[in-house]
Structures are given as C-alpha cells and as structure tokens.
Structure 1
Amino acid sequence: MAEPQGQPANYLARISEWADSHLTVLRNISTGMAIAGIILFAKSIKLTTKFTSALDIPVEFIEKNVKLRGRLCHITEKGLEVEHVPISLPFLSSLQRKWQSNGVLLVRLAGVELTPNAMVWLQEELKPAQMMWFQLLGREDLVLDCLILVNKGRFFSVCLNEEILRQGLGKTTRIEGLHHDSPLYWKLHKRLLQAELKALKKNKGIWKEESYFEKLRDHISNNKFVQKLKQFANWLRIHI
C-alpha cells in the first residue's frame, strides 16, 4: 500500500527535476511572451508607429493633444519639415527601423504669424537634425498645427511659439484646430499673448519704435513740397 501513496510524490519530483533542468528554456519562453505582449500592445496604440504623413496620425492623438518626438529636416516658409521619431523598444530598435518607412511631417507653429525675420532666426537658432517635441493641436490637410518644444541645455526647454513672439518676430493669431471656447485654447492663447506683450514692452522686433531722427526723415521724405522739389531736380538733371 505504500507504493501507490508514493506515486504522486514521484511525479512531483520528476516534474520539479524537469523544470530545474529546463529552467533557462522556461525563462526564455516567458521573456519572449512578455516581449511579444509589449510589442502587440505598443503597436495597438501606435506608440512604435512612425508617422510619415499627417493623415496617418489617428484622430485620437490630435483630440488628446499627444506630444510626438521628431528630428528637424528643413525649415520652409510653410513650416518645419520634421521626421517623426517613435518610441523604440529595447533590443528591437534595429527591427523597428526595418518596419519604418521614410517621410516627413509638415509642422506649423500654432497661434503665430511669422515675419520674414522669423525664418532667419529659426535657421540661426535650430541646429541641423535638431531633436524636438511637437504637441498636436490641430490638422489641416497635410499640415499639423503644434506647440514646438526644443531643449536648451540638459534641464531647460523652450517653446518656439512663445520664443518667436518674445523676440518680436511674429504676431499672435487664432490657434487653429482647437475649439475657441475650450479651456486649453484660452490657456495657450494667454501664454502667447503674454510672450507678445514682453516684446512690445521691450520694443523688440516688429514692435521696435523708430527714433526721433528716423521719424523726422520719414516725415520730410513724405512731405508733398519736398517730393515736388525732388521731381523738379530730376527734371533739371534730365533736360540740362
């Protein structure tokens, strides 16, 4: 009768012995299943997807004002051409690159009307292949309206939308893509107006006041009597 009672114990001992001898295999299987689960989850919410067109970005991302990471490619009159850099998974970055296609996103600084000098400033301030974050606020065809953040040093970041206004290189406009009565709209619009006000107080950029001599020169040159004298002088030069 002792032998039947010992059979379950023998089975357990054999199972335990087999598990000990195949412990590495079991660990690899569990690790593989965990990684596969992470990949499937990340792909399901498009965290690892590289967006090469504004139309590829899910509507939910724009509605929730998701921040995406990107690398600057070109500065154009229409906006910044940015290559989206998605989240990379450990040990799978090389495999991810094989899945990804090439293309850039056209990103526009939301709520800001740029001056020609703003383009020059951007080209001077931004480095080639500069890494940046852009927060999605709206989408118009193939253009994304965003807040753009760039790192300045290790612990400091700058919002380009605000900085351009602080430098007097643009004017505040309506933030496209956000509802006019939403709290986020007025929160961001207030920030942009405050940045513009700083430039106005410091007479920077387009808000720079002309000096007394510049005003006097313009007044004289625009005077009708002076203009007639110039015309008469030109007539004399031609006919004498």
Structure 2
Amino acid sequence: MNNMPEPRRGRDDQQDRRDQGNIVSTISHFVDDNLTFVRTTRFRAASEIPARFIERNVSLRGRVRSVSDRGVEVEHVPVYLPVLSPLLSKVKGVDSSSILVHLAGVELTPEGRVWLQENLAPAQTVWLKLISREDDMLHCLVRRSQGSVWGRCVNEELLWLGLARTTPVVGVRTDSRIYWHLHKRLHRAEVKAERKGRGLWQRDSTWERVSRAILDSSVIRMMRRIFQKTG
C-alpha cells in the first residue's frame, strides 16, 4: 500500500497552491516595479494609497473639491492609459470621495488661507507629490496644473508671498534626505519673503516706526497718567 502512487487529486491541489503562490508573487513584483500601472487606480481615501507610493514620493493627479480650515479636499483623478483604462476602471456609478490634503511643511496665516481659497478653485486640477500620511490626511507638495505646464509649487508660493511660515514636515524622519531637501527648499522661499518684507514679514515705514516710538516713550506715558488723574 505504501508504494501506491499519490492520488491525482492531492497532486493537483499541491500544484494549485504553488500556482497561486506564484501568481501572488508575480503580482507583488509587478506592483512594486510598475507604479505607473497602479497609478491608474482611483483612490477614495488616504488609507487606500499604498505605502510604497508615499515612500517613493509618487505624484498623483487630483481635482480640488474645496478649501477648509483643515486643508484642501481633493478628489483623486487617475492618469488613465487609453488602451488599459476600460480594464482598470473600478465599478461605474460610484462617486469618488475626497481626500484631505495638508500642505507639507507649511503653516498658513489667515491671509494665506484666503489666498488658497481664491487660487485653488473647485474642479481645478492639481498634482500631489506624496510626502507622508497622518491618519486620514496626506501631507503633500501641491502644484496647480496650467494646461500642459505644471504651475509653481503652492507650498513655496505661499511662503514666498509671506502668507505662511515653515513648520517641521510631519511623518518624515529628520535625518532623511527628503526631509532636508524639503526643509532647504521651503526655507529658501521663506527667507526671500522675509528679505523682501512681504506679507507677515512686512516692515513698517520710517514714519510708522517713529510714531510708535514716540507713543511708547516714557514722557508720553507720564503725560497720559497726568491727564487720566486730572480728567
């Protein structure tokens, strides 16, 4: 009995398991090595984006939904390949949810938030360079799309106009190359605004400085106290 050949069904089951393992392995390698292919998938939440995309700082295309105190609400719009798009599309008729995007390394002033609302209009196309993920939020470098040309980085533009301050990049190791690259890039824009006296770095005129110095002087303070006592 021990010398009888293995039942055919058992051999087939083992072969099926090996085939399934090979398929999973092949798909995994394909996903890792072909980010452009996977980029055609529509993401409806920050949690759906593969960690490898963020590690490689992949750029995704999106459409602005709104700008709020929390950040920019963006709908992900895949870069479809004409031949493959029918095969890669998800179920039709399902509305895409928006993804909350924070401008990486930037803290907006109230004026900066107003500027953002005026310059990132609903339905406008933007490109999101993935930097990190924090719960349901993505930290990104955001670029406005101007036809076939990429516009200026919104993060840098806000700093350059003096409408924001630099802040540590969330979710990125401080000893990493990308952290220092971003820090240098954003800090350069902030320094230019400070040197030019733009926005929050705006300097008072000579007359304003002199007037404030006079009003703050000890003589003026003494005269105010005298008038208050005699009033």
Q: Aligned with 2:122: secondary structure?
A: coil
- Unpaired segments of 5 or more residues in structure 2? 1-29
1:123 paired to 2:120: no
Partner of 2:158: 164
Aligned-pair CA distance for 1:127: 2.6
Q: Secondary structure at the match of 1:210?
A: coil
Structure 2 partner of 1:66: 58
Change (3 A) 1:99 1:153: closer
User: Structure 2 CA distance, aligned partners of 1:206 and 1:173?
Assistant: 15
Counterpart residue number, 1:31: none
Q: Matched residue of 2:54: which SS?
A: helix
- Alignment partners' CA distance in 1, 2:59 and 2:170: 17
- Of the structure 1 ranges 175-184 and 95-104, higher mean CA displacement relative to structure 2 is found in 95-104
The size of the alignment, in residue pairs, is 195
C-alpha separation between the residues in 2 aligned to 1:106 and 1:118? 18
Unaligned stretches of 5+ residues in structure 1: 1-39
* Residue 160 of structure 1: how far off its partner (Å): 0.4
Secondary structure at the aligned position of 1:214 is classed as: helix
How far apart in 2 are the matches of 1:126 and 1:230?
A: 53
Give the stretch that moved more between structures: 188-197 or 152-161: 152-161
Change (3 A) 1:47 1:227: same
- Cα 1:127–1:177 change in 2 (3 A) is same
Alignment identity in percent? Answer: 43
CA–CA distance in 2 between the matches of 1:73 and 1:226?
57
- Equivalent in 215, 218, 225 of residue 222 of structure 2: 225
**1:9-57 deviations in Å (ceiling 9; x for gaps):** xxxxxxxxxxxxxxxxxxxxxxxxxxxxxxx9789x6433221211111
Residue aligned with 1:98, SS = coil
Q: 1:110 aligns with which of 104, 111, 118?
A: 104
Q: Is the 8 A contact 1:52 1:101 kept in 2?
A: no
The aligned counterpart of 1:78 is 70
Q: Normalising by structure 1, what TM-score?
A: 0.71
Q: CA RMSD in A?
A: 2.9
- Aligned counterpart for 2:43 among listed residues 51, 59, 75: 51
Find the aligned partners of 1:60 and 1:100 in 2 and give their Cα distance.
Answer: 26
Which of the two has higher C-alpha Rg? 1
Q: Distance in 2 between matches of 1:93 and 1:122?
A: 37
Query: For residue 174 of structure 1, what is the aligned residue in structure 2?
Result: 168
The structure in which a higher percent of residues are helix is 1
Map 1:120-159 to 2 at 5 A: 120-152=114-146, 154-159=148-153
Report if aligned partners of 2:108, 2:165 keep a CA contact under 8 Å in 1: yes
